[in-house]
Structure 1
């Protein structure tokens, strides 16, 4: 009897030791894998990320969805793309840790880390680092094909969408009007709408024009071109030079003829760089794998949206003023890219 009790005691002690060894501070998922409270698995490696994009009719959303698929295919990181209010909102989502990766305009990233313009009230965002510059985002002043608006000055007294509230497009609209000696008060009405809403309201006649900052061709503008017809209002050389002199992150840009259906002449305007940025807390190995997946997926991204084919290692650091994430640095060093 005593022998049986001793054996039973040994079994209980052994079970207790096994349970203690398997225990931890996190919880287990359905596969029995240890999970913490963040996006890291039990081995400390990043297991999932969220990519902040933009509105569903914009370039960010198309490319973000394709990038998420390719990250999943090329790494062990689960990835999903989230529709957002685009650049400025994406920076705030990185600050709070609600997303891990984000598309943004280069000028907006600069405002975020310096705590200026739309970030002045809340202060600088300190946990943003760069991965790559992607392509030029074109500032398009969109009107219906039969509109009488021929110049920026003609926007005076008109109903104009200046972009979603607090967006990069809104900042671009304000700065371009400023160079022409105008403000939002000079417009008949300044509406703050997403791209899809803007072109829909131009189509039904309740809006005269819209500022759209996005890679061309832009889905929302394509839809307008296919229905009512579209024109892009150009900027003249003198005002382009003044704009670049005052805000050096702009560059002259040509929208080629044929970009949109019925669009038979090239238009001169300006552009800013689209960039992919990351929450600085994200683990180095994960960002290395994400950066590698980005540049190994250019063909797939290009088949999703024409701007995807503009992504290149040769231009990855152009206009990128942010500090690079160590994971991105490791990848560029491997590729022999000079920083």
Structure 2
């Protein structure tokens, strides 16, 4: 009798354990959600930021899991967000936003209005550089060969708009290519000047970066002022020209003796407006709660403080994802214009 009772107790216990395991698995399946992060090319700063965010999500969220997906670049990230809006968030940039809305991508691929801001991330700060010390101003480029972005790239309209605003677009010979191509052509004497990125950690820590350092192995590099008011005017007109003040001597005490204004094609965490609001809220929470912990991933992780996380490329609340806006509103975090923080 006692043996039969023990058997019954054992069977019931095993059944309860099995039921409990099944229940837990069903709860896991019902509650856990997954988000993919489009990161760009492996090794790019934005890919490192995507890895950092994925790490923080997987470590700090009870119900959200993430993985990073490599793409050909920032535009590839935006493509995934656009075509798989309920699956991907990612790193994208200011020029992608405006060119998808009403620029070159809208014309060639059809307009896209769904991209929304979650939080600020990387910088892509740049100006025009030259070897010629006689070129003191953008106006002095008249009659010269100037390297701008690739044909069809989202940054190329910004480069051309800057030249047009200075009254020289129809007076220069344009040569197209990426920043690496601009470096090579300037070094080889095939162009007189090129748009060139340099290292920028917010708010005002500047270094020449790899491209300019390599250019200087041939001769000194000079930096042109793009003028804050012109850049703001262009931003208002729909170009990704957020102005950045570069103090005198910040890039070089000899070849940049005066203050100049460069511009920043801001990189940010974004999502389509169709992305689950709860997921974006959770992502925003984790980004804010890990403020100050990003520098071990990349030097530009210094941007990830509450001074800069809610700073937008253009202060348009309608361009903020509802999930992010809900988090910012509930925690009394004010959205900011990044241009005002970098002046």
TM above 0.5, yes or no, is yes
- Cα displacement string for residues 142-167 of structure 1 (whole angstroms, at most 9, x for unaligned residues): 334x5653322333444433123433
Question: Counterpart of 2:281 in 1: which secondary structure?
Answer: helix
Q: How far does residue 179 in structure 1 lie from its aligned partner after superposition?
A: 0.5
- The residue correspondences of 1:1-339 to structure 2 (distance < 5 A) are 42-43=29-30, 45-53=32-40, 56=43, 59-75=45-61, 76-80=64-68, 82-86=70-74, 88-97=75-84, 100-112=88-100, 114-134=101-121, 137-144=124-131, 148-183=134-169, 186-193=171-178, 195-212=179-196, 216=200, 217=207, 219-221=209-211, 223-224=213-214, 227-228=217-218, 229-236=220-227, 239-240=230-231, 243=234, 246=237, 250-257=241-248, 259-260=250-251, 265=257, 266-315=259-308, 316-318=310-312, 319-321=314-316, 322-338=318-334
Name the Cα RMSD after superposition: 3.9
Contact 1:169–1:212, Cα closer than 8 Å, also in 2: no
Structure 1 window deviating more from structure 2 (164-173 vs 303-312): it is 303-312
Q: How far does residue 248 in structure 1 lie from its aligned partner after superposition?
A: 8.0
**Change in CA separation of 1:177 and 1:56 when aligned onto 2, cut-off 3 Å:** farther
Q: How far does residue 170 in structure 1 lie from its aligned partner after superposition?
A: 0.8
Question: Counterpart of 2:136 in 1: which secondary structure?
Answer: coil
Q: Report the equivalent of 2:13.
A: none
CA–CA separation in structure 1 for the residues paired with 2:227 and 2:47: 31
CA–CA separation in structure 2 for the residues paired with 1:80 and 1:258: 39
Q: How far does residue 257 in structure 1 lie from its aligned partner after superposition?
A: 4.7
Contact 1:221–1:230, Cα closer than 8 Å, also in 2: no
**Change in CA separation of 1:154 and 1:166 when aligned onto 2, cut-off 3 Å:** same
Question: Counterpart of 1:301 in 2: which secondary structure?
Answer: coil
CA–CA separation in structure 1 for the residues paired with 2:328 and 2:294: 20
Question: Counterpart of 1:67 in 2: which secondary structure?
Answer: helix
CA–CA separation in structure 1 for the residues paired with 2:320 and 2:237: 26
Contact 1:66–1:301, Cα closer than 8 Å, also in 2: yes
**Change in CA separation of 1:264 and 1:89 when aligned onto 2, cut-off 3 Å:** same
Q: How far does residue 226 in structure 1 lie from its aligned partner after superposition?
A: 6.2
Where do 5+ consecutive residues of structure 2 fail to align?
A: 1-17, 201-206, 336-343
> Number of residues paired by the alignment?
297
Q: Please, what TM-score do these two structures have when normalized by structure 2? A: 0.68
CA–CA separation in structure 1 for the residues paired with 2:53 and 2:323: 17
CA–CA separation in structure 1 for the residues paired with 2:112 and 2:96: 11
**Change in CA separation of 1:258 and 1:100 when aligned onto 2, cut-off 3 Å:** farther
Question: Counterpart of 2:294 in 1: which secondary structure?
Answer: helix
Where do 5+ consecutive residues of structure 1 fail to align?
A: 1-17, 23-32, 35-40
Q: Please, what TM-score do these two structures have when normalized by structure 1? A: 0.69
Q: How far does residue 326 in structure 1 lie from its aligned partner after superposition?
A: 3.3
**Change in CA separation of 1:236 and 1:313 when aligned onto 2, cut-off 3 Å:** closer
